[in-house]
């Protein structure tokens, strides 16, 4: 059990806080949306008025915000975590951001004697609720070893390497997920237009080599036409932007990632940024003039 500060109470942050409290931790929370703070306070969290206040009251601070700029503002900015943190504190940023931003934040923390880990997650809202997130951690190994038990109520953690390694691993994850979703969408559109029942096709292939966590999670959503967000299109766009930016810096061509990003860009232009990323299938459906559902 520990006193934990938590900044960021979005679709992922709220269930993560619930799991930390269920494990016996005392959690102080802050979000730029006041109603989110109020909601968690009714469930037993301690409300705070800023990221700085969260850090001043807790030696262990977790941040879970949408993007690189948000993470840098929450930790390095005015009224941010480092304004309230003390030497010897630990900041664990569980946001999915650019590796270079993680390294920038790490340098800022080190300058104040504060430990830092970048620890993005995979598993979406269902994984956050169930406490089964895959947590990819970058930073100093001794710091990871010291705080590894903190992750247990939220999921399974893996040490990936130095600062930024967690987010580089997350980018690899997001590349595979996006391209896999696109492949599932193409396969089910083909099956439907050929006159087959997508449910039967799904049942037939899920136990073979094509089987995957993505297939099991996203094919039923496509078949039902249910694109309620577990992980939003706009967030996957952000992750692929970071992947392509990092690839450019490393001179690594990512042609299939670039194509997936163009598909997601089309969905954004259609106003589907808040749909689940399984809506990548909508792009294939539109081109084929066939809906998987119905």
End residue of a domain, out of 147, 163, 179 = 163
Output the pLDDT for position 294.
78
| 131 and 254, same domain (yes or no) | no
CATH classification at residue 26: 3.40.50.720
| 208 and 128, same domain (yes or no) | no
| 18 and 140, same domain (yes or no) | yes
Three-class DSSP category at 88:
coil
pTM for this prediction? 0.91
Domain holding 111, by residue range, is 3-163
In a domain, 138, yes or no: yes
| 147 and 272, same domain (yes or no) | no
Three-class DSSP category at 83:
helix
| 128 and 101, same domain (yes or no) | yes
Segment 47-58, tens digit of pLDDT: 999 999 999 999
In a domain, 223, yes or no: yes
| 185 and 259, same domain (yes or no) | yes
Largest alpha-carbon pair distance within the chain?
Answer: 65
> How far from each other are the two terminal CA atoms of the chain, in whole angstroms?
49
| 175 and 159, same domain (yes or no) | no
Assess contact for 276 and 229: CB atoms under 8 A.
Answer: yes
| 12 and 50, same domain (yes or no) | yes
Question: Is 170 among the catalytic positions?
Answer: yes
Three-class DSSP category at 121:
strand
Cα dihedral across residues 107, 135, 16, 22: positive or negative: negative
Query: Average pLDDT, whole number, for the chain?
Result: 97
| 156 and 228, same domain (yes or no) | no
Segment 59-108, tens digit of pLDDT: 999 999 999 999 999 999 999 999 999 999 999 999 999 999 999 999 99
In a domain, 103, yes or no: yes
| 102 and 220, same domain (yes or no) | no
In a domain, 141, yes or no: yes
- Could you please report the per-residue DSSP string of 126-152? HHHHHT-EEEEEEE-HHHHHHHHHHHT
Assess contact for 43 and 16: CB atoms under 8 A.
Answer: no
Cα separation, 53 vs 79, in Å, equals 8
Mean pLDDT of 109-114: 97
Written as six digits, the tokens of 28 are: 């102080």
| 180 and 157, same domain (yes or no) | no
In a domain, 293, yes or no: no
DSSP state of 45: P
Output the pLDDT for position 124.
87
End residue of a domain, out of 114, 147, 163 = 163
How many domains does the structure of the chain reveal? 2
End residue of a domain, out of 111, 139, 163 = 163
Q: Which of 104, 170, 192, 218 is catalytic?
A: 170
Segment 225-264, tens digit of pLDDT: 999 988 899 999 999 999 999 999 999 999 999 999 999 9
In a domain, 276, yes or no: yes
Written as six digits, the tokens of 93 are: 């940023």
| 157 and 186, same domain (yes or no) | no
In a domain, 294, yes or no: no
In a domain, 147, yes or no: yes
């Amino acid at each position: 059990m520990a006193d934990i500060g938590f900044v960021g109470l979005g679709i992922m942050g709220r269930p993560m806080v619930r799991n930390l409290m269920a494990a016996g931790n005392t959690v102080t929370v802050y979000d730029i949306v006041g109603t989110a703070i109020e909601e968690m306070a009714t469930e037993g969290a301690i409300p705070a008025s800023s990221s700085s206040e969260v850090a001043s009251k807790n030696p262990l601070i977790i941040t879970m915000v949408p993007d690189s700029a948000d993470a840098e503002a929450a930790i390095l900015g005015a009224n941010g975590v480092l304004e309230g943190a003390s030497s010897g504190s630990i900041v664990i940023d569980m946001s999915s951001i650019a590796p270079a931003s993680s390294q920038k934040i790490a340098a800022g923390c080190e300058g104040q004697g504060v430990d830092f880990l970048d620890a993005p997650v995979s598993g979406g809202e269902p994984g956050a609720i169930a406490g089964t997130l895959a947590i990819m951690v970058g930073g100093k190994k001794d710091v990871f070893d010291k705080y590894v038990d903190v992750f247990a109520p939220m999921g399974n953690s893996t040490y990936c390497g130095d600062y930024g390694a967690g987010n580089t691993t997350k980018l690899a994850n997001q590349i595979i997920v996006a391209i896999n979703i696109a492949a599932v969408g193409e396969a089910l559109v083909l099956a439907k237009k050929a006159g087959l029942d997508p449910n039967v096709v799904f049942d037939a292939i899920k136990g073979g080599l094509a089987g995957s966590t993505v297939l099991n999670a996203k094919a039923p959503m496509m078949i039902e036409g249910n694109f309620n967000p577990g992980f939003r299109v706009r967030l996957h766009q952000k992750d692929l932007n970071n992947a392509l930016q990092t690839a450019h810096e490393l001179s690594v061509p990512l042609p299939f990632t670039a194509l997936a990003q163009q598909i997601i860009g089309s969905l954004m232009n259609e106003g589907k940024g808040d749909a689940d990323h399984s809506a990548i299938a909508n792009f294939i459906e539109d081109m084929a003039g066939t809906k998987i559902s119905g």
